Amino acid sequence: MKKQLFVDRKMLGALAVGACVWFSPAVLGLAPVQAAAAATGVVVGLPNFADLVDQVGPAVVNIRTLERPKSGRMGAQGQIGEEELQELLRRYFGGALPLPGGKAVPRGRRQAPSEEPVPRGVGSGFILSADGYVMTNAHVIDGADEVLVTLTDKREFKAKVLGADASTDVAVLKIEGSDLPFLVLGSSEKIRVGEWVIAIGSPFNLENTVTAGIISAKQRDTGEYLALIQSDVAVNPGNSGGPLINMRGEVIGINSQIATLSGGYSGISFAIPIDEALRVSEQIKKSGKVTRGRMGVKIAEVSKDVAESLGLKSAQGALVSQVEAGSPADKAGVKPGDIILKFNGTPINRSSDLPRLVGSTPLDARLTITLWRQGKQLELPISVADLDGEKQAKAGAAKGKGEGAAAAKTAADVLGLRVSDLTAEQKKVLGVGGGVLVDAAEGVADEAGLEEGDVLLQVNNTEIRDARQFHAVVAKLDSKKSVVLLVRRGEQSQFIFIRPSVK
């Protein structure tokens, strides 16, 4: 039996009220279409992408990269060039030797090394402006000696690489042309999960291939500085750098990655949000590089258990596990074990939010960070600096015993720990003002992962100064509740949970 689907008259126009559309049994269970769908412009049914593709297709380009042949001599890493390999084969096997592409070297002759660039890879891109700025992925042009851009009308240009940013995987090229077709940029902030999108590119070098799907999710944490757009649009090798386009013909992302177990498309693809890509491209066009600020901290996610134990209302923020000596964070007074809740007033919901906010902040700007430390919220002024790479960390956690081990012996009965005071030299090396050294971890401490040589800096929200105080704090613990310890191991700090043993 077929089922009726009554359609609002605003959608059908000329059809009379009460007209109906008949569907096959496959659509049994569909609810009536709401008038609000038409009012908001939501696509009902499967859209026709033909007009959209005609509109945006000419501005999507194929990108081919070339590299010049390397010297035929054996390199520093012991690799044999093609010329030497051919000579070895000729000596031992004789006859015509097959080469890539079906060619052969006749017996007794050696092929002269070619100076012509050889194909290296294929990708996609799109034109940003009529004067020839092109955006693509950084990995598409990485290591290329020459970059060729081909339009849908078969015009080919030799492109100049203006710059590339590996952190965001964005690159900007320039081709010499005028009145070129170009795409309009939309806003990745305004996208909605479930809306239709298309991708155009050159998968497997099949130029101007169009695939369609929907936005599956926003803000996927798959990169250090970017939360990517997830879609189910088919993306394969060669699609990289091509645009993800909404139904208004606007670019909302750059196709960059796929999630796969086989190497091919498996139903999940990721795109760089165009808002972030545009910020990067503007820097590249101005200076040829991207300047990104850093605070000088290593961070981790705040778990639910950590939040509850430290008195936070929810698991949010970025847990500081290490502070680089001399960095802006160090100068501001940030300590391992702090939880950064806000950056200049912007809440940090996930730890990955922090590097993105810091990275997009102008250098030397005076800002404020909001921290959670030992059960209290405090604010610290900080400036963001341009830090090229990470500095070498100090030496690892100091080993050895000091005074105070006997005073803390009772603590082993509850937490399974035997600790001692840190020497002045150990504190200096570690860059800490207090804490105790773990001499042995037994029972529940051993099961929780504590090790000899660890340094305990905090018990719940109490900062530890020495072994005597540690023993006093542990003596007051409730054996029915878990204890969270801030532990320093090497240059990293982390929270570890222990349930005190009941004697």
- How far apart, in whole angstroms, are the C-alpha atoms of residue 360 and residue 362? 7
240: annotated binding-site residue? yes
**HSE-up (13 A, CA, CB side) for residue 183:** 33
Residue 471 annotated to the active site: no
> Contact 245/198 with Cβ under 8 angstroms?
yes
CA distances from 303 to 177, 308, 351 (A): 53, 9, 11
**HSE-up (13 A, CA, CB side) for residue 35:** 4
> Contact 5/26 with Cβ under 8 angstroms?
no
Q: Out of 139, 142, 383, 446, which one is annotated catalytic?
A: 139
Residue 338 annotated to the active site: no
> Which residue from 194, 201, 207, 140 is spatially nearest to 171, judged by alpha carbons?
140
- How far apart, in whole angstroms, are the C-alpha atoms of residue 436 and residue 427? 10
The tokens describing 399, both together, are 């080993």
Q: Out of 124, 216, 231, 240, which one is annotated catalytic?
A: 240
- How far apart, in whole angstroms, are the C-alpha atoms of residue 388 and residue 497? 35
> Which residue from 426, 416, 420, 407 is spatially nearest to 472, judged by alpha carbons?
407
3-state secondary structure 15-64: CCCCCEEEECHHHCCCCCCCHHHHHHCCCCCCCCCHHHHHHHHHHEEEEE
> Contact 62/207 with Cβ under 8 angstroms?
yes
> Contact 148/159 with Cβ under 8 angstroms?
yes
- How far apart, in whole angstroms, are the C-alpha atoms of residue 273 and residue 227? 8
Q: How many CB atoms lie within 10 A of CB 459?
A: 22
Structural element, H or E, at residue 104 = strand 104-105
**How big is the CA angle at 97 (ends 95 and 99), to the nearest 5 degrees?**
165
3-state secondary structure 160-192: EEEEEECCCCEEEEECCCCCCCCCEECCHHHCC
Residues linked to residue 215 through DSSP beta bridges, in sequence order: 231
The tokens describing 372, both together, are 């959670």
Residue 169 annotated to the active site: yes
Q: Out of 169, 338, 439, 466, which one is annotated catalytic?
A: 169
238: annotated binding-site residue? yes
DSSP structure class, residue 349: S
Binding residues for substrate: 139, 169, 238-240
Could you list the active site residues?
Answer: 139, 169, 240
Binding residues: 139, 169, 238-240
